[in-house]
Amino acid sequence: MEEAVTTVDGNVDELSASELLRSVEATNSLPFVTMRKHKKSNKDHNRADVAGHSTNVSSGADVLVGADVPGATQAYGGKGGGFVRARGGSFVLNGSPFLFNGFNAYWMMNVATDPSERLKVSQVLQDAANAGLSVCRTWAFADGGDKALQISPGAYDERVFQGLDFVVAEAKKYGLRLILSFVNNYKDFGGRTQYVEWARSSGVQVTSDDDFYTNPIVKNYYKNHIQRVITRVNTITRIAYRDERTIMAWELINEPRCQTDYSGRTVNGWVQEMASFVKSLDRHHLLEIGMEGFYGDTMPERKQINPGYQVGTDFISNNLIREIDFATIHAYPDQWMSTQNDDSQMAFMQNWMSSHYQDSRTILKKPLIVAEFGKSSKDPNFNTIKRDSYLNAVYRNIYMEARSGGTVGGGLVWQLMADGMSSYGDGYEIVLSDNPSTDSIISQQSHAMSTLSHVLRLGPNNVPGSHPGEVEFDHSKNLFKGIKVGSLEVEISRPQFADDALIIQHQESRRFGLHGKKCVLQSVVEVLEVVFMH
């Protein structure tokens, strides 16, 4: 969306209402207004036409309208210092709603093991932050094999651990939060196969990889790894991982599956034991399982939502465990339904997401993250337009569910990489600098979710109603004194949502106007934000 700018002289590039609405509907991009005090202008009223509606600006303010206003990411910054919490069906940060857009980058520790390659980690984190992404999911495991973190049970390579230290420190530097996974279901980077093999090599009687969930020796190996990660003190930040606010959550296992028990009960017992163990070591951080979302025996009627098969997990019973703070789903219709066309795959995706949204809201009563999704370049007839269309559809689904008061907190696209990392590619990789259209779609979703977070901070309902919102402005102190939206009134004595900005939003707003000392927000298009920069 192009910017409409009111200059000191009052010149305006107009943005038509139809253009604005098309952008909102097609891209999730939300219109916003940034007001900056202009010290050199003595004009009492500059006048701009925003989306076809009158905008009066006093005190010579600059008005910027668009999806890509310079400095907007900083104004929205989600870099608060608290731990992310789960409260009811929502994520909260420092007591306020926390919605986000994020990504996967499983490879970070592995790459950071070599100090000469760490620039790749820094580049992706910087690019992600520039795109407004605020959560990254990555591996905190590498069991056996090349560049192993855990060489053998209880034996660790300090060089690799320092690679993970670097990832945590860099995420902190760029204001991102991490979800760290403890083990893989698959053989990549060792996984539960390696744990079972370690036990077999030491003389333990095991029969299959599924003994990972039940054998006491194997389970103790895994618990030891959990303890080593959680209690580690970062060699760069000097902060223990369990006290590190940059870490949003722990994940028990990437995509658990169990072929010997499709009901989900075996995995359920393991989750209960391991979740209790994690919480005994760390009460600060959130915990999730790492599930794809497959249904099991708890609700037999839900099995028809699965893509034609079960994997030994039960989305309902597994996530009802008290120590599990939020649920996850993954979505790969291009893999799960590879013989079906794009329309059928998208229909499955919509149904998959809708079903889990409903269950997380009405049964689990816990937040939900769409923790993996993407479109592979290995798919038949792949092109960037198809990927962008798919991502945009998923993003809009996430946004609309969050906007309606649902439990979804955000999505994590699979996966971001830097240039020169073809050996880590799986077809789903995205290099933002090489894919400007995809970068734009991701950035727009980041802005939409961040904006919605701020809107929800104004009150319990994300649609306050048709009552106008009034903001009183004290010119003598250059401060907004208060916000009133319907029956909700908030007194303000200093900027709140960012160090240098006060953000005022009102859902469903049609017009923004400054009339003397009053800012009036009236009924509207999507979300109108006002940022007063000191």
Is 509 within a domain? Answer: no
Is 48 within a domain? Answer: no
Alpha-carbon separation of residue 451 from 72, 356, 462 (angstroms): 10, 24, 11
Q: Diameter of the chain by CA atoms?
A: 84
247 by Cβ neighbours in 10 Å (0-12 / 13-18 / 19+) ranks as: buried
Is 55 within a domain? Answer: no
CATH of residue 91's domain is 3.20.20.80
Active-site position among 255, 292, 429, 526: 255
Q: What share of the chain is helix, strand, coil (3-state, %, to 5)?
A: 35, 25, 40
Two tokens, residue 116:
């000469």
244 noted as active-site residue: no
Is 375 within a domain? Answer: yes
pLDDT of residue 81: 77
pLDDT of residue 149: 98
Is 341 within a domain? Answer: yes
For helices 265-281 and 216-231, angle between their N-to-C axes, nearest 10 degrees: 40
For helices 384-403 and 436-457, angle between their N-to-C axes, nearest 10 degrees: 0
Amino acid at 251: E
Q: What is the DSSP letter of 462?
A: S
Is 523 within a domain? Answer: no
Torsion of CA 340, 342, 348, 354, to 10 degrees: 180
Which domain covers residue 113, as residue numbers? 84-458
State how far the Cα of 14 lies from the Cα of 519, in Å rounded to an integer.
Answer: 22
pLDDT of residue 88: 85
Is 465 within a domain? Answer: no
Alpha-carbon separation of residue 190 from 132, 146, 187, 221, 425 (angstroms): 33, 10, 5, 13, 18
DSSP string, 152-182: ETTEE-HHHHHHHHHHHHHHHHTT-EEEEE-
Q: How many domains does the chain have?
A: 1
Question: pLDDT 10s per residue in the chain (534 long)?
Answer: 322 222 223 222 323 323 322 343 344 433 332 222 222 233 233 222 222 222 222 222 222 222 232 222 222 233 457 999 999 899 999 989 999 999 999 999 999 999 999 999 999 999 999 999 999 999 999 999 999 999 999 999 999 999 999 999 999 999 999 999 999 999 999 999 999 999 999 999 999 999 999 999 999 999 999 999 999 999 999 999 999 999 999 999 999 999 999 999 999 999 999 999 999 999 999 999 999 999 999 999 999 999 999 999 999 999 999 999 999 999 999 999 999 999 999 999 999 999 999 999 999 999 999 999 999 999 988 999 999 999 999 999 999 999 988 899 999 999 999 999 999 999 999 999 999 999 999 999 999 999 998 888 775 444 333 333 444 444 333 333 444 433 333 333 333 333 323 334 433 333 333 333 333 333 222 333 333 332
- Count CB-CB contacts under 10 A for residue 10: 14
DSSP string, 191-252: HHHHHHHHHHHTT----SGGGGGT-HHHHHHHHHHHHHHHHPBPTTT--BGGG-TTEEEEES
Is 64 within a domain? Answer: no
Active-site position among 372, 401, 508, 529: 372
State how far the Cα of 87 lies from the Cα of 325, in Å rounded to an integer.
Answer: 9
State how far the Cα of 257 lies from the Cα of 440, in Å rounded to an integer.
Answer: 35
pTM of the model: 0.75
Nearest to 178 by CA among 168, 191, 164, 188: 168
372 noted as active-site residue: yes
